[in-house]
């Protein structure tokens, strides 16, 4: 385990940003939302980037910006598509512990509205079901820890994450 940073991955609507802010406060870490970082560096919203650059162009920008994150003692909430960026994911794994916030497809359907308004990187004709089937194996591949988050119980999710981090720390020594 790399305790320098905690990196949250998962589907849009999994609660990465919400959980990330609370987790950062609990750990005494800073918080970074990589989607906001991308928007700041690009001077455009995610939806605008996807519209203007296409999905592949957006993913290239996301991979580049995420692979340049330099921070310590930070909880980083990534965009749901961050796992497509091999360079970024290798970098993030080298600077922290990656936690997959796993949510069932059924619950995601209840939480999410129009995916295009959220700035979700979708290919033409791709549905949420397709996206889930494509991304879930990638989240599992990169995760050091998987935390199932169904009820959107933020305090419970934070406790489960902290227990897992403590277990990893204990096993590292």
- The 10s digit of each residue's pLDDT in 111-147 is 776 665 666 777 778 888 899 999 999 999 999 999 9
Between helices 154-172 and 16-27, what is the axis angle to 10°?
Answer: 60
What DSSP line would sit under 129-165, residue for residue?
HHHHHHHHHHHHHH-SEEEE--S--HHHHHHHHHHHH
According to the model, what pLDDT value does residue 170 have? 63
Summarize the chain as % helix, strand, coil (round to 5): 55, 15, 30
Domain count, the chain: 1
Summarize pLDDT for 17-76 with one digit per residue, the tens.
999 999 999 999 999 999 999 999 999 999 899 999 999 999 999 999 999 999 999 999
The CATH number of the domain holding residue 154 is: 3.40.50.300
Single out the residue of 96, 102, 64, 94 nearest to residue 82, CA to CA: 64
What are the two backbone dihedrals, phi and then psi, of residue 74, each rounded to the nearest 5 degrees?
-140, 140
Between helices 46-67 and 34-42, what is the axis angle to 10°?
Answer: 110
* Range of the structural domain that residue 64 is part of: 5-172
What are the two backbone dihedrals, phi and then psi, of residue 51, each rounded to the nearest 5 degrees?
-65, -45
**Host H or E run for residue 100:** strand 97-102
Q: What is the pTM of this model?
A: 0.90
Summarize pLDDT for 62-119 with one digit per residue, the tens.
999 999 999 999 999 999 999 999 999 999 999 999 999 999 988 888 877 666 566 6
> Given the structure tokens 């609990």, which residue do they identify?
26
According to the model, what pLDDT value does residue 173 have? 42
């Amino acid at each position: 385990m790399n305790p320098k940073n905690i990196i949250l991955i998962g589907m849009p609507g999994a609660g990465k940003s919400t959980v990330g802010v609370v987790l950062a406060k609990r750990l005494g870490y800073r918080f970074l939302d990589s989607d906001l970082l991308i928007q700041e560096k690009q001077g455009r919203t995610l939806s605008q980037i996807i519209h203007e650059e296409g999905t592949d162009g957006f993913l290239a920008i996301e991979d580049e910006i995420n692979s340049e994150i330099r921070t310590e003692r930070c909880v980083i909430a990534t965009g749901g598509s961050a796992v497509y960026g091999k360079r970024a994911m290798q970098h993030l794994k080298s600077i922290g512990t990656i936690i997959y916030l796993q949510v069932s497809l059924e619950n995601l359907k209840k939480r999410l509205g129009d995916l295009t308004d959220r700035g979700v990187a979708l290919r033409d004709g791709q549905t949420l079901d397709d996206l889930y089937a494509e991304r879930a194996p990638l989240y599992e591949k990169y995760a050091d820890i998987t935390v199932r988050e169904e009820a959107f119980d933020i305090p419970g999710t934070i406790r489960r994450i902290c227990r897992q981090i403590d277990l990893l720390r204990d096993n590292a020594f």
